[in-house]
Structure 1
Amino acid sequence: MLIAWLASDSKREVTERLFLADSTVSTYIQRVRSKYDAVGRPARTKVRLLVRAVEDGYIELDDL
C-alpha cells in the first residue's frame, strides 16, 4: 500500500484502486510515520516518507 500511496495523487485514488476504506489508508500511513518518529527519523510529509522508504530499502524508485 505504501508504494500505491506514494505513486498516487491522493488517498482517495488509493482507496478506489485497492478497494479500501479511507480510514484504512490513513491509519496505515500514520502507523508508518509513527514508527519513523519512534526511531528519531520523522517523515511528516509525503516526500520525506518517500526518502525514508528508499533509504531503508523498502522501495526503489523504479517501483513508482
Structure 2
Amino acid sequence: MSVDSYFSAPMVPEGQIPSLSAREIEVLLAWFAAESKGEAATALFITSATVSTHITRIRGKYDVVGRPARTKAQLLARAIQDGITALDDW
C-alpha cells in the first residue's frame, strides 16, 4: 500500500460506512465549504430546505451504522474518516 492510498483510504470498517449517494456527497461537501446552508444552496442552485433534507438524511444514515454525527464538525470528521474528503481540502 502506498502512502497516498493509505491516507485516502477510509479509517473505519466497511460495514460502518453509510452508503451516501453522489448527490448527498455533493451537498455535504458544498455545505462544508459554505458559511450556511443557504450559501450551499445558492452554490448548488437548490433551496436551503433541500440542503437541510440532504443533511438530515445523511445524519440518519450515520445513525443507522452506529456513528451519530449531530454537528457540522462531527459530520466533517466522519467524512474524513470515511475517505470522502481530507483535512487538507479545508
Q: Give the TM-score normalised by the residue count of structure 1.
A: 0.90
In the alignment, structure 2 segments of 5+ residues that lack a partner are 1-26
What's the counterpart of residue 29 of structure 1? 55
Select the structure of larger CA radius of gyration.
Answer: 2
Which of 34, 56, 65 is the matching residue for 1:8? Answer: 34
Structure 1 runs, 4 residues or longer, greater than 4 Å off? none
Q: Give the TM-score normalised by the residue count of structure 2.
A: 0.66
Matched, 1:45 2:85: no
The Cα RMSD (Å) is: 1.1
Does the 8 A contact of 2:33 with 2:40 survive in 1? no
How many residues are paired up?
Answer: 64
Work out the percentage of aligned pairs sharing the same amino acid: 56
In the alignment, structure 1 segments of 5+ residues that lack a partner are none
Tell me, in whole angstroms, the C-alpha distance in 2 between the residues paired with 1:22 and 1:3: 14
Tell me, in whole angstroms, the C-alpha distance in 1 between the residues paired with 2:62 and 2:87: 19
Does the 8 A contact of 1:3 with 1:63 survive in 2? no
Does the 8 A contact of 1:5 with 1:14 survive in 2? yes
